[in-house]
Amino acid sequence: MPVGTLANVKTLTPDQLKATGAQMVLSNTYHLHLQPGEAIVKAGGGLHRFMGWDGPMLTDSGGFQVFSLSEMRTITEEGVTFKSPRNGDVIEMTPERSIAIQNDLGADVIMAFDECPPYPATRSAVELATARTYRWLKRCIVAHQRSDQALFGIVQGGTYLDLRAQAAADLRELDLPGYAIGGVSVGEPPELIEQIVKATTPQLPEDKPRYLMGVGTYREMAQAIASGIDLFDCVIPTRLGRHGAALVRGERWNLKNACFQHDHTPLDATCDCYTCTHFTRAYLRHLIKAQELLAYTLLSIHNITELVRFTTAIRQAILDDRFAQDFAHWLTPADASRSES
């Protein structure tokens, strides 16, 4: 899922986004609550209609953002109180509030409000957060009002695999329509992410969607899919685009590099995206160097297309029983001598 934080995937129209092959979009409850506020989105017909995206959509609960972006936060059993970074207002976010906001936003999949511990964190801190996340999940289930929205639970547990296992077991009992692994990609080394995903995913039901939150490099996705993950969200393709970088057949290219100045070939001659079929590397480099916003649009189009193609190819390889063989390069641990893509 490309990330549409503030009810848009940055620099892309819904038509451009659809043409990338992306099927589902994520939006952020935390950001949309702060602006424009869920009342406006609801009055505008819900998030799909408001932002003009008629495909599947997921909202996160705001948990991750409350813990990672807010200052002056206070955590109690009831919920979290924090100061709005936008206008300084004191805001209280609780499981009930998060679900009410997500009910108003109206995405197809909504997420339970969780406590996401930082990395590193002591075992006792993570134990507390994981247990609280479970109690909050049960309050979310009670608060959830719309049968047309699927509520997913989130497995926390930090880097402690036994806490992850316990959380997964607790969640399974609740028979939810989908399950997520949260609290990864919060600063821990790649091999730890891999370890957590490898150990935790098989403990979640195979017949339900399993969603790894906030992850999206080639390698992370391939390895997570090998463990059974079905769904990802990540800002990487669009954020890289806004930094002048392109994902090209497994590599990350900085298009500001002088080697592209006179390169009048497509970014990727094998790619059928709008950018690759209409423009050259020299043109993209020119736009980036000139700080023309169109560069970000064109690179985001390509980067999303590239990652959608990557996961689509994995899906086909699984169906053809060629996954381990064809994607062996990505299923080995990251080589520190290579740039991480």
CA distances from 63 to 94, 111, 217 (A): 9, 9, 23
Of the two residues 15 and 207, which places its CB atom closer to a second copy in the complex?
Answer: 15
Of the two residues 43 and 72, which places its CB atom closer to a second copy in the complex?
Answer: 43
Residue 298 engages a second copy in binding (rule: CB under 8 A): yes
Scan residues 48-107 and list those touching a second copy (CB under 8 A).
50-52
CB of 307: closest distance to a second copy in angstroms? 20
Which listed residue (87, 88, 175, 290) binds a second copy by CB under 8 A?
Answer: 290
Task: Judge whether 60 counts as a catalytic residue.
Answer: yes
CB of 291: closest distance to a second copy in angstroms? 9
Scan residues 247-286 and list those touching a second copy (CB under 8 A).
261-262, 264, 274, 278-280, 282-283, 285-286
Q: Which of 104, 114, 233, 268 is catalytic?
A: 233
By CB under 8 A, which span of 20-28, 114-122, 162-170, 288-296 interacts with a second copy?
Answer: 288-296
CB of 286: closest distance to a second copy in angstroms? 4
Cα separation of 292 and 67, whole Å? 34
Q: Which of 60, 104, 114, 268 is catalytic?
A: 60
CB of 289: closest distance to a second copy in angstroms? 6
By CB under 8 A, which span of 169-177, 203-211, 217-225, 295-303 interacts with a second copy?
Answer: 295-303
Of the two residues 157 and 241, which places its CB atom closer to a second copy in the complex?
Answer: 241
Of the two residues 17 and 186, which places its CB atom closer to a second copy in the complex?
Answer: 17
CB of 177: closest distance to a second copy in angstroms? 29
Cα separation of 9 and 296, whole Å? 11
By CB under 8 A, which span of 37-45, 159-167, 202-210, 322-330 interacts with a second copy?
Answer: 37-45
Q: Which residues bind a second copy (CB under 8 A)?
A: 6-8, 10-16, 35-36, 40, 43-45, 50-52, 261-262, 264, 274, 278-280, 282-283, 285-287, 289-290, 292-294, 296-298
Residues catalogued as catalytic = 60, 233
